Amino acid sequence: MLGLMNRLGTSPRAQKFWLALECGALFIGAPAAGATALLPAPVIPLLLLVALGCGLALRLRYKISLRDLLRTHVPAREWRRILVIYLVAVPCLVGLLWFIKPAALFSLLLQHTGIWLLVMFAYPILSVFPQELIYRAFFFKRYQPLFGQGRGMILASAALFSFGHVLFHNWPAILLSFAGGCLFGRTYQRTSSLLPACIEHSLYGCAAFTIGYGAFFFDSTVSFH
C-alpha cells in the first residue's frame, strides 16, 4: 500500500486518502469479511498473523524494535491510575453481568476450571499482546496523519478495536471492547509503552473471563458442551 501511495500521489491529501483506504481495508474490511465467513479462519491464528505483519512494519518501516515498544520506565502514578480504575470497574462488570445474564456469573471458573486456567495463562500471550501490537503500537504510529495524537486517535483506535469484535457476533463484546479500547489507548498514549497497556488489558480480560463474560468473547468454534 505504501508503494501504491508513492506512485499514485505524493501530496499530503493524496497520501491521506490512500492511508485511509488502507486503514479501512485492514480494520473494517478484514473483520467484516471474517464475520460474514468470506474470510474463514480461526481467530487466534489470524490475529497472530496480522500481529506479525504489523510488527515487521514497525521494525522495517519505522525502525521501532520490540524493546522500544516494551519500555519499562513507567511513572508510578500510571500504575496507580490503572489499579484504581480496575478496582472500580470489576464490581461494575459483575453487576452488569448479573443484570444481563445472571446464569453466566463465574460459569467458566466453576464449570470448566481447566479451560479457565488455560485462558488465564494463554490469553495474555496469544491474544492481548498481538491485539495491543496491532491496535495501539502499529495503529498509533501508522495512522497518526489521519487521527493526530490526541483524543481522536484514542477514539479511532477504540472504535476499530471494538469493530474487530464483530467476529463474535454479539453486542456485549463490541460495547465492552470499545470501553476497553479507550482505557488501553489512553494508557498507551500516556506512557508510550505497550507494557502497561498489555498488563491493563490482561487484567480486564482475565477478570472478564473469570466473571463469566467468556461466552461473549470466545471464538465461535469453541464449545464448552
Tens-digit pLDDT profile for residues 22-58: 999 999 999 998 888 766 678 889 899 999 999 999 9
- Amino acid in position 64: I
105-126 pLDDT, tens digit each? 999 999 999 999 999 999 999 9
Q: Of 159, 151, 156, 201, which Cα lies nearest the Cα of 178?
A: 159
Nearest CA to 217 among 92, 101, 121, 127? 127
Spell 114-147 as b/e; 16+ CB within 10 A means b.
ebbeebeeebbebbbbbbbbbbbbbbbebbeebb
Per the CB < 8 A criterion, the answer to whether 89 and 209 are in contact is no
